[in-house]
A = this chain, B = another copy of it.
Amino acid sequence: MTKHFLNRREDIVTEALDGLLMTSAPGELARLDSYPEIKVVLRADWKKDRVAVISGGGAGHEPSHAGFVGRGMLTAAVSGEIFASPSVDAVLTAIRAVTGAPGCLLVVKNYTGDRLNFGLAAEKARAEGFKVEMVIVADDIALPELAQPRGVAGTLFIHKIAGHLAETGETLAAVAEAARAAAADTVSLGMSLSSCSIPGQAHEERLGAAECELGLGIHGEPGVERIAMRASVSLVETMASRLAATIDDAGDYALLINNLGAVPPLEMGLVARDVLRSPLGRRARLVLGPAPLMTALNMNGFSLSLIRLDAVREAALRAAVGPRAWPVPVEPRPITIQPAPRVDTVDAVTAGSDETAATLIRTVCEHLISLETELNRLDSRAGDGDTGSTVATGARSVLAQLPTLPLADPAAALGIMGATLATSMGGSSGVLLSIFLTATAQRLAGGASLADAFRSGLERVTFYGGARRGDRTMVDALEPALDALAADGVAAAAAAARAGADATRGMTRARAGRAAYVGESNLDGVPDPGAEAVASVFEAVAAMK
């Protein structure tokens, strides 16, 4: 995936930061007027009366870092260009902008560029008289023997803990000590199905269709291992066992599930389930996410981070904060499962017989079966040529059920036929007929005449189905037929249905149903098969003795 939403390549980062600022709550965020060289987002309400917590780094990790500026987390975020450390001047400017007498803590991910640029800025700020401390986060466990592990999504824990302690008025020494201890107790590991692409640059995917990567950073660099694509539960198992090897056997942990950028929410939900069911997940006392927290542009992967909890850290992680990108931690627990209400089977109805009704139903069904070939032929002009077969299938299922229908209770009988047709016919037409009969039955049970009940049923069909007269559907025959039935009886109904069906020959533009997608010329002069079936059935009923 190499396509991106962008304007000028050199404006991507400032425009994205402006988008954040424009969609943040009033009074929460501001930026300095030093675009484009110096990109600093800071709390608009900051009074320099407490320890400032500053973080940052390259862009491409949104919502990190500017998305976490706000009450209880970061005081300011300094952004470089995509995957490039901010300059010394940019960091120094941020320090000057937000640091008061209580001093500031810099939270830096362990990449050389960030360490040095934040480091020199810290030294310069000290020379200017500011109190500055720095904590370096190196949580990535991908290469256990590496002396300088990378800083990745576990950094969020440090932002939250330091931010909370600073917000509550702790001293710089106390905030820095807590942050360093927290960083030392944090581990992370990433997994991805594809590498990320940088907006405005050509991209070549280094992973094959059956490969994924374990232990990657957040700058598009290759992972530690290329492994075969496997089921999510197996990928998670590999990550969980490596992470588990780095943490204590006892004690509580918080677990952060981070979307690296482009995993769709459906899959992040599935991954979260697999993670929480793994042995590692069962160690988690608090879970954060799944959510995009420290992304790597559009990387199709996720990372897991853990921090060992104590009372202070747990309280800090749970404390409410301003930034909306921070996920509320929850205590994982078994899913609450409630019994589904039982679908009552129809009570054994007093199955009265009614020979007139039985003859009527038999006539209608047999007539519909006789139309199978002709309706299929008509349907083949606009659809897949199965209207006749679908209708015949429904008719046969009703015929088969006829001996057991409670015909002395027409409402009950219609309701049962409706349920049967929904299943036997399938598809839209089965459901529409079922709606027709179910709604008709309900009105009938409420005391309406059969003709009025049928009209209510049709009203429901047009509401749910969306077809109206003139749309070239069975409604074009059924609606005039039922109106005539209520007023003048079955012969008039048959005539009205026939006129309605014939009128569909002139409707060369279907507006509902599948025929809506067919060009006009194919339909010229051909009646709609549904309307034709309705008319033909009414004629057959009118002809009954």
Q: What is the interface of chain A, defined by CB distance below 8 A to chain B? A: 1-8, 12-13, 15-27, 29-34, 38, 40, 42, 44, 59-60, 62-63, 67, 82, 88-89, 92-93, 96-97, 110, 112-113, 115-120, 122-124, 126-127, 134, 147-148, 193-194, 196, 199, 209, 212, 229, 231-233, 235, 257, 261-274, 276, 287, 289-290, 292, 295, 297-298, 300, 302, 324, 327-328, 330-333, 335-341, 343, 415, 422, 428, 431-432, 434-435, 438-439, 441-442, 445, 460, 463-466, 471, 511-512
Interchain CA distance A198-B29 in the complex, whole Å: 39
Interchain CA distance A16-B266 in the complex, whole Å: 6
Identify A119's interface contact among B295, B297, B464, CB under 8 A.
B464
Interchain CA distance A150-B16 in the complex, whole Å: 31
- Whole-angstrom distance from the CB of A528 to the nearest CB of chain B? 16
Interchain CA distance A148-B463 in the complex, whole Å: 12
User: Main SS of chain A's interface residues?
Assistant: mixed
- Whole-angstrom distance from the CB of A58 to the nearest CB of chain B? 11
The reply to whether A60 and B266 contact each other, CB–CB distance below 8 Å, is yes
Residues of chain B with a CB closer than 8 A to A463's CB: 119, 134
The reply to whether B120 and A19 contact each other, CB–CB distance below 8 Å, is no
The reply to whether B300 and A332 contact each other, CB–CB distance below 8 Å, is no
What are 24 A-B pairs with beta-carbon distances under 8 A?
A1-B300, A5-B235, A5-B302, A8-B231, A15-B274, A16-B267, A17-B269, A19-B272, A20-B269, A21-B335, A22-B333, A30-B337, A33-B340, A44-B336, A115-B464, A118-B464, A123-B438, A123-B442, A127-B441, A261-B265, A263-B298, A264-B292, A264-B297, A266-B295
The reply to whether B23 and A287 contact each other, CB–CB distance below 8 Å, is yes
With A5-B235, A271-B5 as known contacts, state yes or no: A25 contacts B330, CB within 8 Å.
Answer: yes
Interchain CA distance A147-B232 in the complex, whole Å: 42
- Whole-angstrom distance from the CB of A364 to the nearest CB of chain B? 21
Most chain B CB atoms below 10 A, which of A6, A97, A269: A269
Residues of chain B with a CB closer than 8 A to A117's CB: 431
Residues of chain B with a CB closer than 8 A to A232's CB: 5-7
- Whole-angstrom distance from the CB of A112 to the nearest CB of chain B? 6
The reply to whether A297 and B266 contact each other, CB–CB distance below 8 Å, is yes
Residues of chain B with a CB closer than 8 A to A27's CB: 336
Interchain CA distance A127-B147 in the complex, whole Å: 71
The reply to whether B264 and A62 contact each other, CB–CB distance below 8 Å, is yes
- Whole-angstrom distance from the CB of A65 to the nearest CB of chain B? 12
Interchain CA distance A231-B328 in the complex, whole Å: 36
With A18-B273, A116-B465 as known contacts, state yes or no: A33 contacts B337, CB within 8 Å.
Answer: yes
The reply to whether A7 and B120 contact each other, CB–CB distance below 8 Å, is no
Residues of chain B with a CB closer than 8 A to A235's CB: 5
Residues of chain B with a CB closer than 8 A to A118's CB: 464
The reply to whether A229 and B3 contact each other, CB–CB distance below 8 Å, is yes
The reply to whether A115 and B20 contact each other, CB–CB distance below 8 Å, is no
Nearest B residue to A3 via CB reads B193
Residues of chain B with a CB closer than 8 A to A199's CB: 266-267
The reply to whether A341 and B93 contact each other, CB–CB distance below 8 Å, is yes
Interchain CA distance A34-B59 in the complex, whole Å: 45
A-B complex: 7 closest residue pairs judged by Cβ atoms: A119-B464, A19-B273, A16-B269, A19-B269, A62-B265, A96-B341, A30-B336
Interchain CA distance A442-B261 in the complex, whole Å: 43
